[in-house]
Amino acid sequence: MTILAALLFLMLVGAIIAVETTNLLSAVISVGAVGFLLSIAFLFLGAPDIAITQLVVEILCLVILIRATISRDLTAVSGEREFFGMVVGVALVVLVALAGIAAFEQFPPFGEPVMARFPDDAPSATYLAEGLDRTGAANIVTAVILDFRAYDTLGEATVLFCAILGALALMRRRARRQRDGDETEEGDAA
Amino acid sequence: MNDPHAKEGMSLIVKTVTRWLKGFLLLYGAYIVLYGHLTPGGGFAGGVIVACAFILVFLACGAGIGHRTLGRLAASELDSAGALIFTAVGALGIALGGVFFRNFIRTPPEAHFRLLSSGVIPVCNIAIGLKVGTSLFMVLAILSAVHVAVKGGRRRMVRRREDKS
Amino acid sequence: MIYALCLMLIAVGLYGVVVKKNVVKIVISLAIMEYGINLLLILVGYRAGGHAPIMEPGASPAEFAAGAVDPLPQALVLTSIVIGLGVLAMMVAICIRLYERYGTFDITEMRRLRG
């Protein structure tokens, strides 16, 4: 509990640095620090699957951010939006925070899972008790994502495919060549 | 030394270490994928580790050698193969079990905690690992293949390699 | 207490999204928000002193089920993390496109240059 609070506090500090710093490279590295601390927090929360995934995804995320954006010529960031936009933004954040605090009253106290509210018919309890017999997988998380709820994983694969397809379509150059005519042609030849 | 791509990428030390490391990384990724139903891990984490192995080669040795290790065509074919295997397993569930994504291979209780157990879950793990790994490698290769340069007062995307020469 | 810290993490991300001008900063803030939401989902399923939902040989299922954390949020977050990476790659691609079109990462400049 104390360790978790300390980790969360460090994550908060890293997030504030990432949002507020004027150097883009330090912002990206601070996000990396937040992600690695999150991975450690997952280990303390009894989720080693997620900890491994978060760790490697964070590495890849850093590589993509640094490789694709930081090598541009400008790395310094200047200022915030004008005063009115800033006031509206802060008001929105305060509103969302108040709504979140109101929602937390419905949450179970920390350390008590949601499935404990339905002691007889919670789906998670069924997965835990019968997962090994019904699927044969010792890792119940894998049993859930690939057997009980494989539709989720199918949807996830579709979303990932669409995201990659979108990135591909955004980065290709042939469409621009048709629209811009000759200008991009010489760019290709160069 | 006659290799045209030999001068690309980072220094000799990084390249040598990469040559040693990439096999271990692939092995670790394959372990995470294959033992996903017994230990922490699974298709997602293992797939990202496999992608990291290829991306390490890509970044350390340059795009030429990186694409020789895993070409863009091969990557997209493996990606499609992963998606096809996954949906085929789901469709076989209809044919053999009556329900989409039914686990149609029953596991007897004495086979628990073995590598070859739990029916279609290892197959699905391998499919997901293939899909996630190759598609993430592809997206990094695409994102780092072009960059924006200013030429004659106009910005346009150029290939990184052409720009260097 | 823990929930409040997690909410503050989400709020910091939201603040970055609505206040910052730089597109890359907005992408980074979205990533921070995503971390906060993932952590919140895992926290909801945590059982005090619970162990990971991975069975060991010889454990009885009933005993295991009484002491393990909730596996369902973990399965959801596992897919959510990978989707987050794909979405981040797509956002970075959009950033590169915007930079090519406008020559800047500043969204207020983009508004002025439109036309």
In tens, the pLDDT along A142-184 reads: 888 888 888 888 888 888 888 888 888 887 765 455 555 444 4
- Chain length of chain B: 165
Is A152's CB within 8 Å of C38's CB? no
Number of domains in chain B: 1
Q: What is the DSSP string of C66-112?
A: HHBPPHHHHHHHHHHHHHHHHHHHHHHHHHHHHHHHHS-SBHHHHHH
Decide if B49 touches C, using CB distance below 8 A.
Answer: no
Task: Say what the pLDDT of residue A182 is.
Answer: 42
Task: Say what the pLDDT of residue A13 is.
Answer: 93
Is C108's CB within 8 Å of A81's CB? yes
Task: Say what the pLDDT of residue A185 is.
Answer: 41
CATH hierarchy code of domain C2-46+70-113:
1.10.287.3510
- One pLDDT digit (tens) per residue for chain B, 165 residues: 456 666 667 788 888 888 888 899 999 999 999 888 888 888 888 999 999 998 888 888 877 777 777 777 888 888 889 889 988 888 888 888 777 777 777 777 777 777 777 778 888 889 989 998 898 888 888 887 766 555 555 555 665 544 433
Model confidence at A8: pLDDT above 70: yes
Model confidence at A116: pLDDT above 80: no
Highest mean pLDDT among A104-118, B35-49, C29-43: C29-43
Q: Is residue B16 part of a domain?
A: yes
Is A67's CB within 8 Å of B144's CB? yes
CB atoms within 10 A of CB A6: 12
Q: 3-state SS string over chain B?
A: CCCCCCCCCCCHHHHHHHHHHHHHHHHHHHHHHHCCCCCCCCHHHHHHHHHHHHHHHHHHHHHHHHHHHCCHHHHHHHHHHHHHHHHHHHHHHHHHHCCCCCCCCCCCHHHCCCCCCCCCHHHHHHHHHHHHHHHHHHHHHHHHHEEEEEECCEEEEEEHHHHHC
**How far apart are the C-alpha atoms of C17 and C35, rounded to whole Å?**
14
Which residue, among A58, A161, C91, has the nearest Cα to A153 in the 3D structure? A161
Termini Cα distance of chain A: 59
Residue ranges of E strands in chain A: none
Highest mean pLDDT among A123-132, A169-178, C37-46: C37-46
Phi-psi region at B81: left, alpha or beta (left = phi > 0; alpha = psi -120 to 50):
alpha
CB contact at 8 A, C99 and A74 = no
Domain ranges of chain C: 2-46+70-113
Residue B149's beta-bridge partner residues? B156
Average pLDDT over residues A88-97: 88
Q: Is residue B3 part of a domain?
A: no
Task: Say what the pLDDT of residue A189 is.
Answer: 37
Q: Considering only CB atoms, which chain C residues are within 8 Å of A100? A: 7, 10-11
Q: Considering only CB atoms, which chain A residues are within 8 Å of C18? A: 88-89, 92-93
Q: Considering only CB atoms, which chain C residues are within 8 Å of A114? A: 44-45, 70
**How far apart are the C-alpha atoms of B163 and C75, rounded to whole Å?**
44
**How far apart are the C-alpha atoms of B5 and B65, rounded to whole Å?**
7
Task: Say what the pLDDT of residue A176 is.
Answer: 52
Q: Considering only CB atoms, which chain A residues are within 8 Å of B142? A: 167-168, 171
**How far apart are the C-alpha atoms of A77 and A20, rounded to whole Å?**
10
Task: Say what the pLDDT of residue B158 is.
Answer: 60
CB contact at 8 A, C31 and A31 = yes
Residue B44 Cα, gap to closest chain A Cα (Å): 7
Domain that holds residue B77: 12-164
